[in-house]
Structure formats: C-alpha cells, structure tokens
Chains A and B, each alone.
Chain A
C-alpha cells in the first residue's frame, strides 16, 4: 500500500522555467515532510523539509507548499537550471521511518 503518491512521473522544463511536483499522503499521523534530490549513482540528498504547522517554506529557488486539510504538498523549483536535472522524491515521516513517493525525473533543457 503506497502511503505517499507522487506526480508526475517525469517532466521536462526549459531553463528558467518552473518545475512543480505534487504529493499526496493518507496517514494523518505523518508530521514531517521532506524532499530529496537524487543524481545517478548517488544516494538521495535532503533538499528541503516542512512540518504540518507551516503552509509554505522557501529555501533559495526551492519552495514547499503544504495543504494539511487536503493532505497534499508540493515542490516548486523556480528558475530551473540544467544542474537541477535529477530525480526528486517526496516523503512523509513518523515513528522513525519515512515513506517515499515513487519519484519524479526532472529534465531541464538548456
């Protein structure tokens, strides 16, 4: 049973454009929502995270929007750069473990 659903599976964006990735979760006990970035041959690296008492968090070009009532959260990548081409995973956590979304492969075209 997939506890975190992520979409789209892949997306292509032009350099300077905005990438948007959406996630939905079921378990209302989740209280920590991180996003990870993974490059080929590397482990996932923490990008940005949010807790349910905050509706939005911004770090540089990356913004998380969180809608507790809808049980949804999203990642916005502003001014996308070719170096942002990677796979992005959303996750939701509690009780010492994270449940991950299936991942979104982002390709930024120069």
Chain B
C-alpha cells in the first residue's frame, strides 16, 4: 500500500506570495492532518480534516488554510508568505483521526521563503 504522498518536495517562494501544498493520504484513510516543523518550534499542529470537514485547528494565523476533497486528498494554502513561514510542512493521514488512530506521515514539503 502506498504511503502518504506530498507534492512538491521543495518550494522556494518570495515574501508576499501565496503557496498551495498537496497531500494524498494512504488509501482508505479519511483523516488528514497538517503539521509545521521548524528547528525552533518543533512539530506544531496546523489543522485536521475528516470527510471534508475541518475538525480541529491549531494556533496559526488565518493566512494558513486548508481543505479536503471527497477523495480524502487535501491541500493547504499559505497566503501573504512571511520569512518565518519557512519550514517543513508535513501531512499525516489516519483511518479515523480520533486521536488514537496511528498517524502516518509523508516526507513533507520543504518551503523556503526569501
């Protein structure tokens, strides 16, 4: 069974631009979560989607948004990019996302904002 796939692997953007990251979960998984990983803040929860509905959201500004499609694939969008948005963005999927279902992570999208 294929793992979680994230595209693209690397992105370089300029301050003020916006970016869209894509995530394809493991087949059969209905929950998709997004995390930001930085050396200073570690892994921080962005949001979680289940059956196209956002069920939980972390403490990030409104510039960070996401959505989930009917096939469980998900996208996250960051608008008006800032230098501090440079990070590894990780997508994770699970069967039910109930806080107890194992999360399976992709290898992430490395975003660099210049």
Identify the B interface with A (CB < 8 A): 4, 31, 33, 35, 42-45, 48, 50, 55-56, 58, 90, 92, 97-100, 102-108
Contact = CB atoms under 8 A, between A and B. Distances in A.
Interface residues of A, number: 25
Nearest to A6: B42
A96 B48 contact: yes
A31 interface: yes
Interface in A58-110: 89, 91, 93-103
Contacts of A54: none
A81 to B, nearest CB: 23
B102 A96 contact: no
B42 A97 contact: no
A90 B26 CA distance: 23
Contacts of A41: 107
A15 interface: no
A44 to B, nearest CB: 5
Contacts of A51: 100
B43 A96 contact: no
Q: Is the interface of A mostly helix, strand, loop or mixed?
A: strand
A51 B97 CA distance: 16
Contacts of A96: 31, 33, 48, 50, 55-56, 97-99
Contact of B107 (A43, A95, A101): A43
A96 B98 CA distance: 5
B90 A44 contact: yes
B100 A32 contact: yes
29 contacts: A32-B99, A32-B100, A34-B103, A42-B107, A43-B107, A44-B43, A45-B105, A46-B103, A46-B104, A49-B102, A51-B100, A89-B43, A93-B100, A95-B56, A96-B33, A96-B55, A96-B56, A96-B97, A96-B99, A97-B33, A97-B45, A97-B56, A97-B58, A97-B99, A98-B33, A98-B99, A100-B35, A100-B44, A103-B42
